[in-house]
Amino acid sequence: MSELYNEKYRPQYHFSAKKNWINDPNGLVYYKGTYHLFYQHQPDVQGWGPMCWGHATSTDMLHWEEQEIAIYPTENYSSWSGSGIVDKKNVSGLKDGEDDPILLFFTAHPTGQKLSYSTDGGKTFKVYDKTVLPNKDSIVAEDRDPKVFWHEETQKWIMILYTESLSVSNLPSYGFFSSDNLLDWKYESEVERCYECPDMVELPINGDKSNTKWVILCCNGDYLVGDFDGHKFTHCQELNISQRNYPNYASQTWSNMPDDRCVQIAWLICNTELNMPFKNQLTIPVELTLRQNGNKYELLKNPIKELETLREEVISISDVKLENSSNLFKEKISCYSEYDMEIEFEYNPFARMYFSTPFGDICYISHINALEMNTKSELLYPDKNNIVKFRILADRSSLEIFGDEGRLYMCFDKIPETRDLSISSTHNVNIKSVKIYKLKSTWK
Ligand code: FRU
């Protein structure tokens, strides 16, 4: 049980570094069949410090292979978070050979925003001499985490940067900068009340590609929905703060995707002491979509469809009545340690239901429509057919829960306690379906 990637608490289908510390995902970019994942990394230490950009590659965002460190700290700076893009038109002039240049924008803390680039398709990287956004005027040492993306309407590259200093009202904010050549940046405007590691994506409303909104994603799960004309962001609803209180942080999305999907991954902070060679993991990659619910826009997250390729055996139960005070699994059965579980049942407003997981019970309290675990609680309503649905992803030291088409997301870092399976209820409930898929390890 102790060989590399098969340690007792090693996540089997969530990313963690071979060894030691990781925090934010960085520079997520797809190029020629390969997804690149960079991450804040201390390769020799279990804690945070002078940061490197670790690097891993994958063809499906699940099976990762660790590569050489991409960016190192220097005597002058630590290499903090940022983003990656492919410069297909070579506006930077950095192309040297067949491949399009891949540019990684990062915060060279405390000196300013720099970039490191690859001319061999993401195998090796070198730091560009000039600091592209130096600390001067109102850009200061703590301003950080550049996210760069293409704005089709104005045909410009945009950088959104966490700034502690631009804001007139002294609130944490995100500043917008624009550029034609990815090397010189011009200040445009700012949005207030947003903290660290910005990301920004344009999403179709209810899947309609001709009708989109821009979403600003903040590191703590807050998000803003609105319009962006390449200069200024105008929000159309209040900051959504519903996703706080969980150990997921500093999410980023992949750029230059090979399809229309918008896929996000986040740091899953491990506060539990595991005594393992690695420290921390990342969440499962999720596809982001935008749902209009009345006059409200809601961000939905769902595990990428590739996850289903890891499904092996299944425990499956359908259309049974769960009698009050009994266990759905009549005989004592043990669950897999890494699984993907989908649950659907008819809503009974009187029932309080208990679903065992290796990390403790999830409780559904029908009369207040609350899904609870570990003192955390989220609203979960039945759908229009009166069915309540949710999905659990359990790994060796983490648990994620998805519900209401992805509006509900909860995650936990924990040590498993039991593998006994049980689903019980205080009142009779019609179970439509329970499917528990064993998931293959991505490290084998
Ligand atoms: C977020 C963060 C970023 C910073 C990085 C340093 O977790 O504080 O703002 O760039 O971590 O590791």
400-437 pLDDT, tens digit each: 999 999 999 999 998 998 888 999 999 999 999 999 99
Q: Ligand 1: distance of its center to the CA of 173 in Å?
A: 15
Q: What are phi and psi of 78, to 5 degrees?
A: -105, 145
pLDDT tens profile 277-333:
999 999 999 999 999 999 999 999 999 999 999 999 999 999 999 999 889 998 777
Is pLDDT above 70 for 1?
no
Is pLDDT above 80 for 255?
yes
Verify whether ligand 1 is closer than 6 Å to residue 144 (CB atom). Answer: yes
Protein residue with its CA nearest to atom 8 in ligand 1: 196
Q: Ligand 1: distance of its center to the CA of 79 in Å?
A: 10
Verify whether ligand 1 is closer than 6 Å to residue 79 (CB atom). Answer: no
Verify whether ligand 1 is closer than 6 Å to residue 284 (CB atom). Answer: no
Percentage of residues of the chain with pLDDT beyond 70: 100
- Give me the mean pLDDT over the 364-381 stretch: 97
Rounded Cα gap, residues 35 and 32, in angstroms = 8
Verify whether ligand 1 is closer than 6 Å to residue 24 (CB atom). Answer: yes
Q: What is the pLDDT of residue 435?
A: 96
How many beta carbons lie within 10 A of that of residue 304, not counting itself? Answer: 17
pLDDT tens profile 194-219:
999 999 999 999 999 999 999 999 99
Q: What is the pLDDT of residue 165?
A: 79
Tokens of 420: 């006994």
Task: Give yes or no for a contact between 45 and 287, defined as CB atoms under 8 angstroms apart.
Answer: no
Is pLDDT above 70 for 157?
yes
In which band, very low, low, confident or very high, does the pLDDT at 136 lie, cut at 50, 70 and 90?
A: confident
Can you tell me whether residue 308 is helix, strand or coil? helix
Catalytic machinery residues: 24
Verify whether ligand 1 is closer than 6 Å to residue 108 (CB atom). Answer: no
Residue 58 CB partners (closer than 8 Å, separation 6+): 34, 35, 37, 64, 65
In which band, very low, low, confident or very high, does the pLDDT at 115 lie, cut at 50, 70 and 90?
A: very high
Q: Ligand 1: distance of its center to the CA of 221 in Å?
A: 15
Q: Ligand 1: distance of its center to the CA of 216 in Å?
A: 18
Output the DSSP codes for 199-241.
Answer: EEEEEEETTEEEEEEEEEE-TTS-EEEEEE-SS-EEESSPPB-
pLDDT tens profile 34-49:
999 999 999 999 999 9
Which of 53, 77, 81 should be mutated for ligand 1, with most atoms under 8 A from CB? 81
Is pLDDT above 70 for 2?
no
Is pLDDT above 80 for 137?
no
Output the DSSP codes for 123-135.
Answer: S--EE-SS-SEES
The Cα-based distances of 151 to 82, 202, 209, 224, 314 in angstroms read 18, 10, 16, 18, 45
Which of 107, 109, 197 should be mutated for ligand 1, with most atoms under 8 A from CB? 197
Cα–Cα–Cα angle for 332, 335, 340, rounded to 5 degrees? 140
Polymer length of the chain: 444
Rounded Cα gap, residues 314 and 72, in angstroms = 44
Rounded Cα gap, residues 266 and 252, in angstroms = 6
In which band, very low, low, confident or very high, does the pLDDT at 168 lie, cut at 50, 70 and 90?
A: confident
The position carrying tokens 């002058």 is: 76
Half-sphere exposure of 419 (CA within 13 A, CB side): 12
pLDDT tens profile 329-347:
987 778 888 999 999 999 9
The Cα-based distances of 135 to 144, 183, 191 in angstroms read 10, 15, 20
Residue 365 CB partners (closer than 8 Å, separation 6+): 352, 372
pLDDT tens profile 47-83:
999 999 999 999 999 999 999 999 999 999 999 999 9
Q: Ligand 1: distance of its center to the CA of 81 in Å?
A: 6
Q: What is the pLDDT of residue 197?
A: 98
The residue ranking higher by pLDDT, 244 or 30, is 30
